[in-house]
Amino acid sequence: MKNILKNAENAEKLLELTSDTMILLDRNGICVDIAVHNADLWFLKENQLLGRNILQLLPSVTYRQVYPEFKKVLAYKEVSARNYELTIGSETYFFKCIMRPYEDMVLCQYRDITERSQRKRELEKKNHELNEIQKAALIGRWKYNSGRQCFYYTGHSGVMCTAEEQEIPLQDYTMYILPEDREIFGKWLAQNIQGNTENSIDYRILFKKRIFYIRLKTFSHETLPDGTGILEGYIQNITDIQQRRNDITLLTHAINNSTEDIFAAREDGTLVFANRRFREHHNISITDDVSTLNIYRINANAQDENSWQRLIKSLRKGEKRNGFILYHPLPEHPEVLAMEGSAYWVTSDKGEAILWGFSRDITQRIRNEQQIKRFSQILDKTIENLPAGIVVKDIQSDFKYLYRNRESYNRNIPLKEALGKDDFDFYPPELAQEKRKQDVEIARTGIEKHWITEEHDQNGKSIFLDKRKMRIESNDFPPILLSIEWDITEMERMKRELLVAKEKAETSDQLKSAFLANMSHEIRTPLNAIVGFSRIIAESTDAEERQNYYDIVEANNERLLQLINEILDLSKIEAGIVEFTITPVRLHPLCKEIHDALKFRCPEGVELVYEASDEEITVEGDKNRIFQVISNLIGNAFKFTTRGSVGYGYRRKGNGIEFYVSDTGIGIQTDKLAKVFERFVKVNTFAQGTGLGLSICKTIIERLGGTISVCSEVGKGTTFTFTLPLAKDKRETAEEQNPVSETGFNTPGNAETGNNTYGPDEETHEHQATQTTGASRSTRQPTILIAEDTDSNYILVKAILGKSYHLERAKDGMEAVTMFEELHPDLILMDMKMPNLNGLDATKIIRELSPGIPIIALTAYAYEHDRQAALDAGCNDFLIKPYTQEILKELINKYLKQTGVSSPG
């Protein structure tokens, strides 16, 4: 039974029962096929539609709606689902048409929704009628959620309710309810939450500065599983009804709750009425009948009969006396310093004259006025002596001055002279207009402005001012504009001087640190080879071996000399004593010379390519300096290129010549490109050099009137380009007093980009495959793993130790870790600066694998913090390059003995 819906034989029957009518149209709208389901309409028949253009059969109004959707489905292969109205003769039908792309055609799914649409229209009509009734009766609906403690309103009560549902928290809504009605409202709501929904409630709210009477009735109560109570009911605005009924009650209520003393008395002094506050002040109980009391016998405003008679005689009928003040009017309440009152006659319905009196305690006002006067005097003196200009303007009175002590302009205007005037009375028209424009903007937006500006005082001296301008509003006075300006000239100048000094100090410290660190390493590295191999040469008897060691010493001598040349170049740059010899320079012969000089220094697997251009091109410049720049750039490319090529050449560009040097090397990271021309910068710390070469190149090119730049992609290569002007017709020789090296051409090994890497290998990794399986640890030759990326340094160690120990070499930190796990050597000599993984990190990893293996740091870093870092990483000892072979052998013997390994002689 469960496969009935999936059985293909039942498909047609199921489609007949559940599917809409399906119409398949070609690109022109012609009906290709039709399957009528769930529709018994005379115009929706196969014999009438098949083979015909259905779109053209539609009425024009329907066609304008359907056709764009049909074309969109064809063009974008999207599904369209919309409702349409179809008028045929006197009948109007409604249908939903779902159009889908089907191969190169459109499949239309027709669904008749005429009956549903007509019912929807009828329902909308009923809703409209109900809505109009609610408007007339000022009725709306409300709902309350006890969990969220929120009311939800909709309808037409004219108070808070709108056609859109409004949400308001109970706490906020309660604030609209008048304080006298809040308690009864809270009790009613609690009863309804508990399920007692029989009674309605009438209460008052203050909304948009008006009092409204509201009636609530609950007609639905529901408790959710989590205990939350949901109430629903109707709300009605009964303000007009209640106001007519409660005018007298409201008036009495207001008088009794007034903060003023209110009484009424006949001409003979007999009291007719006294409100609650009057009774309290005169010790009259709320239950006492005031008609038995006399005004001048209860220590009231008239302290005796004569005083009362003078009062009623001074106030004629039809007049009102306002603002009279009685000092110390209540002997039994000495804390009341004074009361301000008013009085007038009212004729009753019986024709009797009744005097109504109103008085309020103004003790606090008197005290406040005294305090304000005291504070005003203090504030005036304080402001007068502040190093700040303060100006107060009245916004509503066209920005006239209410107060001012001084300002950056017209500082000597006295306050009395300024009051009632504005900026146009004291400033030039353009400046006054600018000030007025700013004032208007702040007064309009209310956004405070704060800025620091440089201006000039009356003597034309530059001053710095910290200015604030703001709008201040209060319920007690019209809005005002307050301007405050502080003279921060000295502070601003000191701040700028400190910033300049700080930047200079930080830059100087950073450059010094970078320079000293680089110099320590770069000088000690070749010096190590020179010192070490010089001793070995003296001891060696093999002529070929001596020659090889001599070549290494010579290469390191050259490297050290080049390093010193760069430092001298920089020193002369700073001193400004370098001269240029400007002559016409033919580029083709110059580039050929460079190729002949550098092709033998090209690393193995890398080709140096000179890409010749116009052989007649001549530029205006210093031949030696141009040679130096191109050589340095090519040498720099050699250091970072292990395969492929290094190409260079030149080409015309505008009014000058563009030179380029491109390589297929490792490239430079994008975030480091901007730093390659900075002094002492080495964004790759694994190459030799000081970080000066490219900075010197940049200085040379700029002094020759050109520019230099670099572009690079990591893993694909780098291209340096620089431009120089073409030769002038008139030959000139010019001497420049700007700094560039006077030491001749820099060789490729001396070029720097600030990105460094290790040099080409001079020998392959050697493995002496001597197996010691089965041999005693005390009789076999000890194995030492040497982690060293520089070939000359490794050859030096090999020359010192190779005859006594079995040596294995790792060229970087990662290889050192791997070889340690494979070989399990007896001791490790660890260089600190290596590519891929430095010596410190490699030592930490090896220490986790073997806490007991002796590791001796062998490095050109010579500072105490370098030594401490090596020991903290796990090294047993720290040996600085250059070192003597005696010290090296002594350290090795020391640690091999500690591990129980016999060291050869």
pLDDT, residue 18, reads 57
**The pLDDT of residue 778 is above 90:** no
Model confidence band, residue 680 (pLDDT cutoffs 50, 70, 90): low
SS3 378: helix
- Under 8 Å CB-to-CB from 364, ≥6 apart: which residues? none
Q: What percent of the chain has pLDDT over 70?
A: 83
- What is the mean pLDDT of the segment spanning 670-697? 68
- What is the mean pLDDT of the segment spanning 216-234? 90
**φ and ψ of 562, to 5 deg:** -65, -40
Query: What tokens appear for 390 in the block?
Result: 């303060």
**The pLDDT of residue 645 is above 60:** yes
**The pLDDT of residue 223 is above 60:** yes
91: Cα separation from own chain's centroid: 62
- What is the mean pLDDT of the segment spanning 871-876? 94
* Residues 722-733 pLDDT 10s: 999 887 653 343
Least confident span in 99-103, 283-287, 874-878: 283-287
- What is the mean pLDDT of the segment spanning 106-125? 82
Beta carbons of 53 and 70 less than 8 angstroms apart: no
Q: What whole-number distance in Å separates Cα of residue 533 and Cα of residue 541?
A: 14
Q: Does domain 136-247 have CATH number 3.30.1360.20?
A: no
- What is the mean pLDDT of the segment spanning 740-762? 35
pLDDT, residue 299, reads 62
pLDDT, residue 418, reads 76
522: Cα separation from own chain's centroid: 42
> What would be the CATH architecture of the domain defined by 556-756?
2-Layer Sandwich (3.30)
* Residues 553-593 pLDDT 10s: 877 777 777 677 666 665 665 555 566 778 888 999 999 88
* Residues 837-862 pLDDT 10s: 999 999 999 999 999 999 999 988 77
pLDDT, residue 239, reads 84
**The pLDDT of residue 879 is above 80:** yes
Tally the residues of the chain: 905
Beta carbons of 21 and 34 less than 8 angstroms apart: yes
More confident residue, 743 or 450: 450
pLDDT, residue 46, reads 79
Query: What tokens appear for 141 in the block?
Result: 């609906």
Query: What tokens appear for 720 in the block?
Result: 């340096």
Q: What whole-number distance in Å separates Cα of residue 692 and Cα of residue 695?
A: 5
- What is the mean pLDDT of the segment spanning 97-104? 91
Q: Does domain 386-487 have CATH number 3.30.450.20?
A: yes
CATH fold match for the domains 258-366 and 783-898: no
**φ and ψ of 777, to 5 deg:** -65, -25
Least confident span in 2-6, 502-506, 679-683, 764-768: 764-768
Question: Look-up: residue for tokens 């002596």?
Answer: 385
Quick one: which of 469, 427, 477 has its CA closest to 445? Answer: 469
- Determine how many CB atoms are found less than 10 A away from the CB of residue 163: 10
Least confident span in 155-159, 342-346, 698-702: 155-159
Q: Under the phi-then-psi rule, with left for phi > 0, alpha for psi from -120 to 50, and beta for the rest, what region is 283? A: left
Least confident span in 125-129, 442-446, 684-688, 868-872: 684-688
Model confidence band, residue 685 (pLDDT cutoffs 50, 70, 90): low
pLDDT, residue 807, reads 94
- Determine how many CB atoms are found less than 10 A away from the CB of residue 472: 13
Model confidence band, residue 691 (pLDDT cutoffs 50, 70, 90): low
For Cα atoms 849, 855, 860, give the angle at the middle one, nearest 5 degrees: 130
Model confidence band, residue 875 (pLDDT cutoffs 50, 70, 90): very high
pLDDT, residue 775, reads 39
**The pLDDT of residue 744 is above 70:** no
pLDDT, residue 883, reads 82
Q: What whole-number distance in Å separates Cα of residue 3 and Cα of residue 573?
A: 92
CA distances from 261 to 128, 256, 274, 297, 738 (A): 54, 9, 8, 17, 94
pLDDT, residue 576, reads 56
**The pLDDT of residue 754 is above 70:** no
**The pLDDT of residue 44 is above 50:** yes
pTM score over 0.75: no
**The pLDDT of residue 165 is above 90:** no
* Residues 69-81 pLDDT 10s: 999 999 999 999 9
Model confidence band, residue 496 (pLDDT cutoffs 50, 70, 90): confident
pLDDT, residue 375, reads 79
**The pLDDT of residue 815 is above 90:** yes
* Residues 520-559 pLDDT 10s: 767 777 778 788 888 788 878 888 888 888 888 877 777 7
**The pLDDT of residue 706 is above 60:** yes
Beta carbons of 290 and 274 less than 8 angstroms apart: yes
Domain at 13-112, CATH class: alpha beta
HSE at residue 235, side-chain half, CA atoms within 13 A, is 25
- What is the mean pLDDT of the segment spanning 281-307? 79
Quick one: which of 737, 607, 726, 743 has its CA closest to 662? Answer: 607
More confident residue, 828 or 268: 828
**The pLDDT of residue 743 is above 90:** no
Most confident of 446-460, 716-730, 812-826, 879-893: 812-826
Q: What whole-number distance in Å separates Cα of residue 29 and Cα of residue 106?
A: 8
**The pLDDT of residue 212 is above 70:** yes
- Under 8 Å CB-to-CB from 250, ≥6 apart: which residues? 243
pLDDT, residue 740, reads 37
Beta carbons of 871 and 878 less than 8 angstroms apart: yes
Beta carbons of 237 and 210 less than 8 angstroms apart: no
* Residues 45-77 pLDDT 10s: 878 888 899 888 889 889 999 999 999 999 999
* Residues 396-415 pLDDT 10s: 888 988 887 766 555 566 66
> What would be the CATH architecture of the domain defined by 783-898?
3-Layer(aba) Sandwich (3.40)
- Residue type for position 744: G
Mean pLDDT of the residues in the chain: 81
- What is the mean pLDDT of the segment spanning 715-742? 62
Fold of 258-366: Beta-Lactamase (3.30.450)
* Residues 182-208 pLDDT 10s: 999 999 999 999 989 888 999 999 988
Q: What percent of the chain has pLDDT over 90?
A: 23
More confident residue, 384 or 451: 451
- What is the mean pLDDT of the segment spanning 135-149? 84
Q: What residues pair up with 435 in beta bridges, in sequence order?
A: none
Q: What whole-number distance in Å separates Cα of residue 235 and Cα of residue 152?
A: 11
Query: What tokens appear for 655 in the block?
Result: 């009014």
pLDDT, residue 6, reads 57
pLDDT, residue 568, reads 65
- Determine how many CB atoms are found less than 10 A away from the CB of residue 112: 19
- What is the mean pLDDT of the segment spanning 130-150? 81
User: For the chain, what are the domain ranges?
Assistant: 13-112, 136-247, 258-366, 386-487, 556-756, 783-898
pLDDT, residue 440, reads 92
